[in-house]
Amino acid sequence: MIRRLKNQGITILLTTHLLDEAERLCQRIGILKGGRIVAEGSLEELRQRIPAQEIVVVQTPEEEKAIARAKKLGFTPRRYGSDLAFWLPQQLELKEIISSFDDIPLDSISRQPVRLEHIYVEVTQQV
């Protein structure tokens, strides 16, 4: 229904905690913290707040070693809940990412686009 109204040119104010829903439906997004708007703009404008082209999430028994390697390579480490993630300044092929951690055991590795949830965590922790 929201998409149908949006396609008819009707302005809708949507409040939600479901960030993937906001990402899919909204042209402009405002992020609130403590009742104040701490960031606003289009999804693309908000993505510019994170200096990453891609986010890589890894699981490894040697997290400290992986973090040290990532920093040496210019990747920014971040935690999203229990996930260890790295911001990559440019997109790399999966084999390049894996070879960057060549001597570090990896249980899993996944590539993700910069999503609204990453932006939300970042801007609400800064303020």
Total number of domains constituting the chain: 2
Average pLDDT over residues 65-93: 94
pLDDT in tens, 29-40: 999 999 999 999
Cα end-to-end distance, the chain, whole Å: 35
Residues 86 and 28 in one domain: no
84: its two tokens = 């260890």
Q: What is the pLDDT of residue 6?
A: 80
Instruction: Convert the pLDDT of each residue in 11-34 to its tens digit.
Output: 888 889 999 999 988 999 999 999
Q: Do residue 34 and residue 62 come from a single domain?
A: no
pTM over 0.85: no
**Strands 29-33 and 36-41, sheet pairing:** antiparallel
Instruction: Note whether 47 and 114 are within 8 A (CB).
Output: yes
C-beta neighbour count of 16 within 10 angstroms: 10
* Judgement on whether residues 86 and 112 belong to the same structural domain of the protein: yes
Give pLDDT, residue 127.
Answer: 55
Three-state DSSP class for 55?
strand
Q: Are 40 and 76 within one domain?
A: no
Query: Across residues 55-75, what is the average pLDDT?
Result: 96
Note whether 61 and 90 are same-domain residues: yes
Q: Using CA atoms, how far apart are residues 31 and 43, in angstroms rounded to an integer?
A: 11
Mean per-residue pLDDT over the chain, rounded:
92
Instruction: Report the amino acid identity of residue 89.
Output: P
